[in-house]
Structure 1
Amino acid sequence: MFAETSAALAGLALIAVELIRSVPALLRVQRTGTSDGVSGMSLGVLAGTGLGWLALALLVQSWWVLAANMLWIVIHAVLCREVARTDTRKRREIVLAGAGSAAALAVATIGARFFMPVRDALGLMLGVSTLFYAVPAAYEGLVSASTRGLSLLSLGVNTLEGSIYFLAGIAVLKIAEAGDPVFGFAFFGVVSIASNGVRFVRVAYRRMKGLDQAWPRAAAPVAAAQP
């Protein structure tokens, strides 16, 4: 009974975290009309591997993770559309990275299947794929001249979500029926904590200093010429 209650609480927390992290990220882009600091490549990789995460949740019988991922996929699709509207370059990145990551994940998983069980093969490939999401996301968030498109709340909750996935992956939180360690969950958790943590620090600093409130120089009104 305790294990079932623990699994239910952890699962409900994961779904709540999914909403709290995904919705503010979407609303931030919609409200500001910009995707500054948001990586199109990162969004594309996440979109392309989404079905893989659903499949992994099914294989390990983690129904709470499955529900959370289904919710995330819907919100993420809308976020991709909104970001694509703000930047032509990012639109291309989303499409190309999405198609490429989906194809690469399928081929790599099939290949790894000859050496290990399909669940382990899929978990391994999804774990590796998180690097292709996290590194571009961290890079864009750190080098972008503005971070107006990034939600501070979303980044903070992403770090918390990474912690939940890590604890689930090492079987501390029992949110999978089998209760076994899941490499894909654990690795995703570690990478997510690192990627979102550094961006959280930069965005928090810029918000405290008011650096994202000013318009870029190119967008500022041109002063009237003096006589």
Structure 2
Amino acid sequence: MKKYIISIIFLLYSINIFAVNFEANLYALAGLQYTIYEKVNKNPIIVYPEICGGLGGEFGIFGNIGANFDIPNATLKNISSLIEFGYNKPSFTVINKYYDLLAHRDKKYYDTTLFDTIYLGFLGKLNFNNNFSFGIGAGVMFPFSGLQLISGDRDGISRFSYREIKDGYSNPIMPYIKLSFELRKNLRDKLFFIYGLNLFYNFGMKTKPFYNTPDIATYNKISSIGISIFAGISFGRPK
């Protein structure tokens, strides 16, 4: 009996130290990302045009929900453990350079692919006493449709479905990691305006091999690194 009493006292003491609050956030973001283009070409016969990464963008609407834990610390006010979800639209731009035999000069065109994605991940935040928060997050984006825009010396636009994404890429998901820097202003009790920026790396996707023979396998991989700004509201976290 004494053992159970001690356990209950310890549990109540722990709850008192680490008071748990509900936290929810809703925000919109927009940003820029630089596409990192990688090509593996094991076929010595076929010569592809020179391709390099370019500047694209992203925007989305996100929410996160979870628990906020009070901690007795002179620097930290509390910490947050949140599940993130939402809609994100990243764009990947590659620059194709080639030599036009008829015009006798170098040419190039821009190939930009925008994906519609569902966003699911985890974000942990350290919330400091000066209303500044630092977070580390990771998760996955699931593309379900997209749009391809070609501009420059060649113009064109086409839409594609999830089935085409699945047929074209070996693993149609985009893992990501990010760092979050957030400030907040109090609007009323447990309601705040939040704003800040994210630094992120999108691991992207790899196309399926153009040829089935391993000795001449050829495929492309796109990933990106970028920065985005966000603004929204936060509910539940104490002052």
TM-score by length of 1: 0.21
Structure number with higher strand proportion: 2
Structure number with higher helix proportion: 1
Higher relative contact order (CA 8 A, sep 6+): 1
Larger radius of gyration between Structure 1 and Structure 2: 2
